[in-house]
Amino acid sequence: MATVHAVEGDFLYEEIASQVATLINDATLKPGERIPSVRQMSAERGVSVSTVLQAYRLLEDRGLIEARPQSGYYVRKRLQERVIVPECSQPPRSSTPVSVTSLILDVYERVNHPDYVPFGAAVPSPELLPTEELSRAMARVARREAADTMTYLLSQGSPKLREAIARRTLLWGGQFNRDDVIVTSGCTEALALGLRTVARPGDTIAIESPTYFGVLQLIDSLGMKALEFPTDPTSGVRLDELERVLKAGGVRACLFAPNFNNPLGSLMPDERKEALVEMLARYGIPLIEDDLYGDLYFGVSRPMPAKAFDKAGMVLYCGSFSKTISPGYRIGWIIPGRFLQDVKRLKYASTISSSSPAQYAIASYLEGSGYERHLRRLRGAVERGIAHATDAVCRYFPEGTRVTRPQGGFVLWVELPERVDAVQLFHEALRAHITIAPGPIFSASGSFTHFIRLNCGHPWSDRMEQALEQIGQIAYRMLRE
């Protein structure tokens, strides 16, 4: 008999919980509705009362139901209404040489592997990108401008593409022409050119905490040091802390993403962007602005970048089409303000020019109105992906888990209970053929040991739902152990 109870306790309660969860997820059982009582479920399923209680406790832990005294169990309200956002980061107050971890390579190694669920690298699914339209644009270019695509362009880039990029800045009040723009090989090269222009090996660069690990790799490769600043998951870097350090001196440049920091998805209010630009101008500190996710906003209008408030030419504005059109084309840009000539020289010395066929193809694609229609569809898709993933995290992850509420982009930053080691979780998820990005790779000081980042740039599916449930189960097991 003891064996029967062990089997029942180990398996039946999870089966019952799964069936009730399905009814809730399908909206068969709606928020506020009463679910079958413990005794009723026990009688209907032919299992013990204790088994049903185990199932209901599991559903409570996942945030799907709640017990009401002397009334029974009810479906909870929509999960996202109960999301608790992580607190503002508190990084070390001293600068540090960056130690680039091999974990970054592990995250990207399986980026396109079909056997792995892709929550790791922040790469949008080809299903969400204008693949056919871009292929047609490339075919047009191959027919009409074949000879031009086979040779170098000017190091500054295709005039037609630069003109299209400059024209798009009108959406946020920019007043630039094609001569202000330099085409780069993705946003990474734009950031690298900015750093190499305004700083030297040994200099200290102010960064957000957490920040995109590619920024840390750049700082490391250039022999510079990083100084992490407290960053609020909703409103961005703390300006009071920044000014305190600027007064003391020692910071050579800032590299921030005011619009939708990766991994936080934070959005700095416009008045604070203006205050940031004015503050840095007073101290003579350049700002390298990463606006990679600026077009992927969830509100009614595109947020202005800090560059919109730049009167002194001290903001080096960087962007890319990698997250909206094609990661593989590697086309980005920099509008470097007063540093234009220095960046042009560095661009020529480092890569001469970016891919000619890719520049011509993207310029051709941008000629019509198709890009704006595509962006509207893409924004809707990634916002839905964020919503589904948030619900799944609330449903399956341990009590005490916190998750950001991004206002744009397609990544989620998840804070797990402190006893969950993110690196161990990363490796165990890999064994289950699921990729995630562990928190320590987003910090120069190796912080965020119980945080993970989730990529939500893929169409939602049962496979992704089940993968997050599995990650939650691994986290529960780590807590028990």
For residue 279, how far is the Cα from the chain centroid? 27
Q: Are residues 391 and 365 in the same domain?
A: no
pLDDT digits (tens, 9 = 90+) for 108-141: 787 778 899 999 999 999 999 999 999 999 898 8
- Asked if residue 105 is part of any domain, the answer here is no
Is residue 237 located within the same domain as residue 205? yes
Q: Are residues 345 and 202 in the same domain?
A: yes
How much is the CA Rg of the chain, to the nearest whole Å?
25
Number of H helices, E strands in the chain: 17, 17
Residue 119, domain member (yes or no):
no
Task: Enumerate the H helices of 199-310 as residue ranges.
Answer: 213-221, 239-248, 270-283
| Final residue belonging to a domain, choices 45, 77, 109 | 77
**Residue 148, class by beta-carbon neighbours within 10 Å (0-12 exposed, 13-18 middle, 19+ buried)?**
middle
**Residue 1's pLDDT band (cuts 50, 70, 90):** very low
pLDDT of residue 2: 34
Each residue's pLDDT tens digit, 34-69: 999 999 999 988 899 999 998 898 787 656 788 887
Same domain? For 59 and 10 the reply is: yes
Q: Which tokens hold the place of 367?
A: 């000629």
Residue 457 — φ and ψ, nearest 5°? -90, 30
Q: Which of 282, 265, 266 is nearest to 274 (CA)?
A: 282
Q: Are the C-beta atoms of residues 53 and 45 closer than 8 Å to each other?
A: no
Cα–Cα distance for residue pair 10/480, rounded to 1 Å: 15
Q: What is the CATH number of the domain that holds 277?
A: 3.40.640.10
Confidence of residue 94 (pLDDT cuts 50, 70, 90): confident
Task: Please tell me whether residues 473 and 390 are part of one structural domain.
Answer: yes
Q: Is residue 98 part of a domain?
A: no
The amino acid present at 341, given as its one-letter code, is Q
Q: At 376, which CATH number?
A: 3.90.1150.10
> Is 289 among the domain residues?
yes
User: What are the E-state strand segments in 399-476?
Assistant: 402-403, 411-415, 434-435, 437-438, 451-455
User: CATH number, domain at 20?
Assistant: 1.10.10.10
Give the containing element (helix H, strand E) for 249: none
Residue range(s) defining the domain that contains residue 299: 130-370
Please identify, among 370, 403, 422, the residue that sits at the C-terminal boundary of a domain: 370
Query: In a 3-state reduction of DSSP, which class is residue 38?
Result: helix
Could you tell me if 229 and 209 are in contact, meaning their C-beta atoms sit under 8 angstroms apart? yes
Give the pLDDT mean for 452-463.
Answer: 95
Which of 68-82, 272-286, 412-426 is predicted least confidently? 68-82
Cα–Cα distance, 102 to 477 (Å, whole number): 26
Contact 383, 459 (CB under 8 A): no
User: Does one domain contain both 181 and 288?
Assistant: yes
pLDDT of res. 82:
60
Select the more confidently predicted residue: 4 or 185. Answer: 185
Residues 46 and 399: their CA atoms lie apart, in Å, by 30
* pLDDT at position 332: 97
Same domain, 429 and 352: no
Distance from C-alpha of 27 to C-alpha of 5, rounded to nearest angstrom: 32
Nearest to 358 by CA among 221, 161, 190: 161
- Domain contains 387: yes
Cα dihedral: 273, 233, 116, 26 (round 10): -120
AA identity, residue 162: R
Taking the C-alpha atoms of residue 354 and residue 352, their distance in angstroms, rounded to an integer, is 7
- Encoding tokens for residue 411? 């990544």
Retrieve residue 138's tokens: 């490339």
- Residue where the block lists tokens 């990698």: 322
What is the pTM (predicted TM-score) of this model? 0.82
Report CA 41 to chain centroid distance, whole Å.
Answer: 42
Owner of token pair 């569809």: 377
121 lies in some domain = no
d(CA 438, CA 160): 40
CA gap 135, 365 in Å, rounded: 9
Find where tokens 């101290």 sit. 283
Question: Mean pLDDT throughout 391-407?
Answer: 93
Q: Write down the pLDDT at residue 300.
A: 75
How much is the pLDDT for 354? 87
| Residues 332 and 475 grouped into a single domain | no
Cβ burial, residue 56 (10 Å; 0-12/13-18/19+): buried
How far apart CA 481 and CA 460 sit, in angstroms, is 31
Alpha-carbon distance of 272 to 336, in angstroms, equals 21
* 358 and 397 within one domain: no
CA distance 450 to 458: 24
* DSSP conformation class of 418: T
- The verdict on 245 and 166 lying in the same domain is yes
Q: Which comes out higher in pLDDT, residue 235 or 10? A: 235
Residue with tokens 């669920």: 117
Q: Is the pLDDT of residue 305 over 50?
A: yes
The length of the chain in residues reads 481
Residue 267, pLDDT > 50, answer yes
Judgement on whether residues 296 and 400 belong to the same structural domain of the protein: no
Using pLDDT thresholds of 50, 70 and 90, give the confidence band for residue 79: low
Question: Based on the structure, what is the number of domains in the chain?
Answer: 3
Supply 183's token pair. Answer: 């085409």
Backbone angles phi, psi at 462, to 5 degrees: -60, -35
The answer to whether the CB of 287 falls within 8 A of the CB of 315 is yes
Q: Does 149 fall in a domain?
A: yes
Of 327, 349, 370, the one marking the end of a domain is 370
- Which are the contacts of 410, defined by CB distance < 8 A and separation ≥ 6? 122, 124, 293, 296, 323, 382, 385, 386, 455, 456, 457
Q: Is residue 117 part of a domain?
A: no
- In terms of domains, do 161 and 184 share one? yes
